[in-house]
Each structure stands twice: as structure tokens, then as C-alpha cells.
Amino acid sequence: MTARKSIFANAALVALTVALSVASASARADDYSTYDVNATYDGAGTVTGSFTLDTTKNTSDLVDLSVVGVGGVNSGTYTDPTYFQTGTYDTASGEMATYDTEAPGLQIFLTYPSGGGALYSGGFGSSSIDSFFSPTCSGEVCGYNLNGTVTLAPGAVSAAPEPATWALMILGLGSMGLMLHRARSSDGSSFRDTLAA
């Protein structure tokens, strides 16, 4: 009877470990927000893709933005999160979130309501893209207003257990296996015999 109790105690430990790891992973997923970008400028240019922010540090985590320049000028992708800055910006419409490459001549400046929405385009702090992405400025330093949206992507970030969680689950399963082995080897009975006892 003692072996049966230890088997069930270990099974309960494993179940608790799994439940805690799922809850922990879910809490970590709440620390990240993924936004989809869909914007246009200067008639034919586009900025599309997504970026993920770590809301606890207000930093970029993942970036996948694609710029199709007007007439194909300097089109490309942005995937390095270290080039982006995030924060808040005071505009005529109130405080807005920002996402900015901060690269002179290559700037993509997205200003949008916290939680996502239409890009702000109403004066100082407007969403914009630099002239590098369009031939119509004839070499002048100028930019273009971006029109479109930055929207919160539902369920875009998947939560994966951390290495410590995996270690706890493996430890729990291993200790359960060890108890089964000990119970079987101590009295010569099989696993089925142990459960039936």
C-alpha cells in the first residue's frame, strides 16, 4: 500500500509542476504585445509587417517590417530589434506610443494609440517615413506621412516553458519512474500488481 501512495504522490507532484509551468508561461505571454503594421505613403509606398514589444522593459523583442519604396526605391526589410526605440509621445491628440528606427535618412516613425489603432497624422509627432524610400523629393531632406494602422495582433505570441520549467517537469517524471522502479524491485511485483494492491 505504501508503494501505491508514493506513486500517486509523485503523479500529483508531476501534475502540479505541469500546471505551474502552464500558468507561468501564460503570465510571461502577457508581458509581450505583438502589433501588425499596415501603412502607405506617397501614393505607392508601403510599410507592412509586425513587431513585438516586451511591455515590462518597453523594448523591441521581434521585428519583421517590410518597406516597399515608391518605384522600388530602397525597398527592404527591417528585422533587427536593436535599431528600434519605443516609448510614448505627447501629440495634439494626447499621449501616443511610438516605434522608431531612429536612423537618420532611414527613419520609420510609427505613432499610434496605446493598444493599437490608426496611425497619428496631425502635426508634430506624426507617423512618417524618410525620403530615402521615395524618388520624389529630388535629393531634398523630406519625409512622408504614413497613413494606416498599427493593430494589436490577437494571440500572436506563443508562450513556451522556460528551461527551469522543463527541468522541473523532467525531474518530476524521473522521480516517478524511480519510485516505480524501486517499488517493483523491492518486492518483485510488476507495476500492475503495485496499482492493484
* pLDDT the model gives residue 156: 47
Please name the amino acid found at residue 137: C
Distance between CA atoms of residues 134 and 69, nearest Å: 6
At 46 the pLDDT is: 94
**3-state secondary structure (DSSP) of residue 143:** strand
User: Is residue 51 in a domain?
Assistant: yes
Say if residue 127 is in the same domain as residue 41: yes
Residue 157 covered by a domain: no
Identity of residue 57: K
Assess whether 16 and 74 both reside in one domain. no
Residue 133 carries which DSSP code? Answer: G
- Confidence (pLDDT) at 144: 85
d(CA 194, CA 186): 11
pLDDT at 148: 94
Number of domain units in the chain: 2
Residues 53 and 87 in one domain: yes
Contacts of 175 (CB under 8 A, 6+ apart): 10, 13
Q: Is residue 145 located within the same domain as residue 179?
A: no
135 assigned to some structural domain? yes
| Residue 136 confidence (pLDDT) | 72
Low pLDDT (below 50) residues in the chain: 25-27, 156-159
Q: 150-171 pLDDT, tens per residue?
A: 998 876 444 455 666 767 777 7
Specify the pLDDT at position 61: 77
In a shared domain, residues 62 and 23: no
How high is the pLDDT of residue 48?
A: 95
Is 114 within the bounds of a domain? yes
pLDDT at 110 (0 to 100):
86
Predicted local distance difference test score (pLDDT) of residue 37: 93
The pLDDT of residue 27: 45
How much is the pLDDT for 159? 45
**Integer angstrom CA distances of residue 188 from 60, 86, 146, 176, 185:** 58, 64, 75, 18, 5
Residue 97 lies in a domain: yes
Query: Would you give the DSSP letter of residue 1?
Result: -
DSSP reduced 3-state for 67: strand
- The answer as to whether 174 is a domain residue is yes
Give just the sign of the alpha carbon dihedral 64, 65, 68, 69: negative
Quote the pLDDT of residue 54. Answer: 83
The whole-number pLDDT of residue 10 equals 60
Facing residues of 152 across strands?
A: 35
- Is residue 46 domain-shared with residue 13, that is, in the same domain? no
Shared domain for 46 and 142, answered yes or no, is: yes
Statement to judge: residues 69 and 85 lie in one domain: yes
Strands (E), 55-196: 59-68, 76-78, 85-91, 94-100, 108-112, 116-118, 128-130, 143-145, 147-152
> What is the reported pLDDT for 18?
55
39 domain residue, yes or no: yes
Range of the domain at 177: 2-29+162-196
